[in-house]
Amino acid sequence: MPEAWAARENPLPLSTEALARGEQVYQQYCSACHGPLGQGDGLAPAVAYFDPSPTNLALHGPAHGAAEYAWIISEGNAESAMPRFDTKLSEKEIWSVVHYIRHGLADEQDEQYAQAHQH
């Protein structure tokens, strides 16, 4: 990641509105490959052939910095099938989906785990 990106922080405050917008963007642009819950199990026909396979964002979401995700979403990843979205998404949409990846997906996975393991 270029230094110019490494120093960036998410300009959007973390809020229910930002998470809701991020979820909309995620479901429209990301879930086909990363799966509806971010587990790397998308239903796009080519996903089974991706090498490397799509990242499990629900597992890795909070472990990576906001700038790292914003850069990958904007610029794509030449070492994977991750396309660039800088021409499809506004900066606000990119940062809102970063909030959703780092906060919403992990929370959803924790909630599902807790519900599945209630006795």
Looking at residue 116, what is its pLDDT? 42
Q: What's the whole-model pTM score?
A: 0.86
Q: Residue 109 has what pLDDT? A: 54
Asked if 33 contacts 50 with a C-beta cutoff of 8 angstroms, the reply is yes
**What confidence tens digit (pLDDT) does each residue in 87-96 have?**
999 999 999 9
Distances (CA, A) of 21 to 47, 66, 97, 100, 119: 25, 16, 7, 8, 34
Q: Which domains does the chain have, with CATH numbers?
A: 3-116 (1.10.760.10)
Q: Report residue 41 as tokens.
A: 């199990």
Quote the pLDDT of residue 108.
60
Q: Which of 66, 2, 86, 82 is nearest to 34 (CA)?
A: 82
